[in-house]
Structures are given as structure tokens and as C-alpha cells.
Amino acid sequence: MLPRGDGHLAGALERYTASLRLGSTVPVPELYRAAGTEFRFDRDHVRGLMGFLRERLANGS
């Protein structure tokens, strides 16, 4: 789930597993919040995600 910005893999994995534990007990936006990100597809949010991915790919991480 991208990007929270804290740079800690362990924290990201904890948030991801927390969202998985919720399963289908909550609406999708709440699953994303539990994972540390937002359920949004507006232009600005997607642009930010793409910038994050481009930077990661350029740095090889």
C-alpha cells in the first residue's frame, strides 16, 4: 500500500496485515485506511502515486 512516507518496511507490513485481518468486515475505504493509505482515484492522488513509483523505479528500490 503506497505511500505512507515513514520509510519503515516493518510498519508497512504491520498496517497491511492489519487491513487483511479486517477482511470483509468493513467497507473498502476503511481497509485502505487500516493499511495506511487512501482509497482515492482523483487526478492529484494518482499523480502523486505515479511520482512515488517513478522515483522508486529510478532509484532501483
In the 8-state DSSP scheme, what is residue 38?
-
Residue 29 identity (one-letter amino acid) = P
Q: Is pTM beyond 0.75 here?
A: no
**Pairwise CA distance, residues 21 & 17, whole Å:** 6
4: which residues sit within 8 A by CB, 6+ positions away?
11, 12, 15, 36, 37
pLDDT of residue 1: 46
User: Per-residue pLDDT tens for 20-60?
Assistant: 999 899 999 999 999 988 899 999 999 999 999 999 999 98
